[in-house]
Structure 1
Amino acid sequence: MRNLFTFFFFAIIASSHGFSKSNPGPITFPKAEILSEHTTRIPFKLIDNLIVIEAELLNQKGNFIIDTGSETLILNKVHFKTRQNDYSNSREASGVIDFIDNPLEKRLREFIIKDITIENKKSDVIDLSHIETSKKIHLLGIIGYDILKDYEVFIDMYLNQITLSRVNYEGQKLDPRQYLEKIIDTVNFKLKKHTIVLEVSVNDELLKFGLDTAAEYNQLNKRTNKKVLKYFFPSKRLMLVGASGKKIEVMAGKLYRVKLSDRIYFAPMTTLLTNLNQMNEAFGTSLDGILGYEFFRQQRTIINYKKEKLYFVEFPLNKQ
């Protein structure tokens, strides 16, 4: 059976001071802008470093996290309590820190992101109450690969919006109009099951990194090449809390000299030094790290799953 795996989403970052218990009040979103019958633009909020949008599902409206590291649509069991026989057989899922036993699975008739209706999708049903508590939001679930793969996904941290444009089986947009923004570069990636795998270099050492919109910080495998580790400069320790409440302490710092190509390079990125062995075992792959928020804040990025390509969009010259 399929293994659900979210690279970093189940490993919530907490500082040594913990989280405030105050209630920040409700989070509201303006309506999505419908550009055509195939394309919509949806504003998002950054909650800590997570991309959060508003969606409607099973007569409920609420917050969903955009997570390319998740295989399926995930529903928060706290808000979707139905009879046990409404669900299919349970299966096993895994996270960065520990395994989550037996998530329930439900087939949905309809999922609505504003005016886009997505039908006949499976979802995993997991208790995400710890996410709600730590992030102080009313969380209905997580939107993952199974929803996103049918679209060209433009993640724009500059304007805080995500644009979904439906594609055909070859990855061609059904909307013939071009983006208003200029595409300045592109790179290929490999799709390993639902995981975007990029070839990255650190000081000219080639590595494989997964790309995950729900990774609040980048991750680097602490067992990677020593020639790479010498460009990781530690600064403090953080606590990772897994879905089952298990905690581990990790080192946080800056990773330098990260490049995708001779033209695409990054400023030093906040990175956690972690053990990725469990993740690699779950996927049957060998990743040296994860790129998340720190990647997307430096590159306005378009993901095309069908073509296995990333496109990078130019920043305005007068960016403040």
Structure 2
Amino acid sequence: MIILFRLFMVVILTVLSVFTKAQAGIAENDSTGSKSAKLLAPVKKYTPERIEIPFTVHNGIIYVQASLNGKEGTFILDSGAPELILNSDAENIEYDSSYKSEAGGVGGKVKKSGSAHIQSFDWDGITLSEGNMLSVSMAHLTRKKILGLIGYSVFSEYALTFDYKNYSIIGQLNPSLAQEKALNGVLLATIPFEMYKHIPVFPMEIDGKTYHMGLDSGAASNVLYEKYVSELKESIIRFKESDLTGIGGKTKAKKGHIKTLKVGDVSYKKLGFIFENDMLDNLNRKSTVKIDGLLGYEFLKQYITTVDFKAREIRIYKK
């Protein structure tokens, strides 16, 4: 699932770069040679001081409820997605195929990509209104009926606290550290991060070696470059190769568990990783920030973790 999902997002980023230019009124040639029309981006109408979101988890993916055009539905919460992206296969999506931009990438192509007009979007009080969003087919991602992905731009002003034990996400615009500690327990570590586009990047240590990891709530498994396997062979257990299905078909992937790794002063034991190169090479293309891998569900579920996007720091708690 992780390879499928992340390859999908790498392709989406290519489509989105064209789509964003269209929203800004910059003409782009599509695959048919015609030029895209100007698209109107939705307006963020309201951001409440505090949000509290219940969620469910299936195969390491976070599912939440939100309202689109007045109707409640299921979305995937994915900080690895840059913004709200709608599922063109959903019944109540006003999919517009006249705006087309086909993008290719590792694993295949997103064939059904266009725009969708939204009248309103409401996620626990965070509201968007009247605009066009990127809309692509998500039939291969999950068997669940989803309306789309809730990405970074929707919650970028917040400090988000992930509590997997209670299946709850709390977001605060102006977090009080004292209140946060009272709610979450002992503060184990505070880790500053830098941003690569919409992805927080911070150091992870394994056996004295440092790797720069991106945080991605949509990553069902952690990912690390395959090229590091040889230097980490003493730290990897249960190593094996298996078939994984991606956008373009089956692909080989190496899996294993890291005995011990550290983020800040916090130790994590036996976290599972997928080791691969292609997806991370695509993610790093033209990047000024090096990303050696991604940390997702397996990382976030170990402790209560607050990701403060405005302060650019991660705070790790234990009750």
How far apart are the structure 1 equivalents of 2:289 and 2:109? 17
CA contact (8 A) 2:159 2:308 kept: yes
| 2:167 alignment partner, one of 160, 163, 167 | 160
Normalised to the residue count of structure 1, the TM-score between the two structures is 0.76
CA contact (8 A) 1:92 1:102 kept: no
> Shift in Å at residue 91 of structure 1?
6.7
Structure-2 residue corresponding to 1:265: 267
In terms of fraction of residues, the more helix-rich structure is 2
Structure 1 pair 130/102, CA: closer, same or farther in 2 (3 Å)?
Answer: closer
Which region of structure 1 is more displaced relative to structure 2, 306-315 or 220-229?
A: 220-229
Structure-2 residue corresponding to 1:250: 253
Secondary structure at the aligned position of 1:278 is classed as: helix
Aligned 1:5-24 pairs, distance under 5 A: 9-11=5-7
Structure 1 pair 225/120, CA: closer, same or farther in 2 (3 Å)?
Answer: farther
Structure-1 residue corresponding to 2:30: none
Aligned 1:1-320 pairs, distance under 5 A: 9-11=5-7, 37-79=48-90, 80-85=93-98, 90=101, 92=103, 97-98=107-108, 100=110, 103-106=113-116, 108-119=118-129, 123-133=133-143, 137-165=144-172, 167=173, 172-173=174-175, 178-179=179-180, 180-182=183-185, 184=187, 185-224=189-228, 226-243=230-247, 245-261=248-264, 263-275=265-277, 276-281=280-285, 283=287, 285-315=289-319
Q: Deviations for 1:172-201, whole angstroms, at most 9, x for unmatched residues?
A: 44x898232235021101111111111111
- Identical amino acids, percent of aligned pairs: 23
How far apart are the structure 2 equivalents of 1:97 and 1:285? 24
Tell me which amino acid in the other structure corresponds to 1:246.
G
How far apart are the structure 1 equivalents of 2:130 and 2:287? 26
CA contact (8 A) 2:6 2:219 kept: no
Tell me which amino acid in the other structure corresponds to 2:212.
K
Structure-2 residue corresponding to 1:17: none
Tell me which amino acid in the other structure corresponds to 2:246.
G
Secondary structure at the aligned position of 2:80 is classed as: coil
How far apart are the structure 2 equivalents of 1:93 and 1:285? 23
Secondary structure at the aligned position of 2:154 is classed as: helix
Tell me which amino acid in the other structure corresponds to 1:9.
F
How far apart are the structure 2 equivalents of 1:239 and 1:284? 32
How far apart are the structure 2 equivalents of 1:159 and 1:251? 32
Structure 1 pair 98/208, CA: closer, same or farther in 2 (3 Å)?
Answer: farther
Structure 1 pair 93/177, CA: closer, same or farther in 2 (3 Å)?
Answer: farther
Q: Deviations for 1:186-222, whole angstroms, at most 9, x for unmatched residues?
A: 1101111111111111111011111111111111101
Secondary structure at the aligned position of 1:132 is classed as: coil
Tell me which amino acid in the other structure corresponds to 1:286.
K
How far apart are the structure 2 equivalents of 1:97 and 1:218? 19
> Shift in Å at residue 269 of structure 1?
0.4
Structure 1 pair 124/305, CA: closer, same or farther in 2 (3 Å)?
Answer: same
Q: Deviations for 1:142-193, whole angstroms, at most 9, x for unmatched residues?
A: 111111202111111111111122x2xxxx44x8982322350211011111
How far apart are the structure 2 equivalents of 1:10 and 1:260? 23
User: When the two structures are aligned, how many residues end up with a matched partner?
Assistant: 273
Q: Deviations for 1:108-130, whole angstroms, at most 9, x for unmatched residues?
A: 45311144323467632110011
CA contact (8 A) 2:94 2:117 kept: no
> Shift in Å at residue 282 of structure 1?
6.2
How far apart are the structure 2 equivalents of 1:9 and 1:232? 24
Q: Gaps (5+ residues) in structure 1? A: 1-5, 13-35, 316-320
Normalised to the residue count of structure 2, the TM-score between the two structures is 0.76
CA contact (8 A) 1:153 1:164 kept: yes
Structure 1 pair 201/273, CA: closer, same or farther in 2 (3 Å)?
Answer: same
Secondary structure at the aligned position of 1:9 is classed as: helix
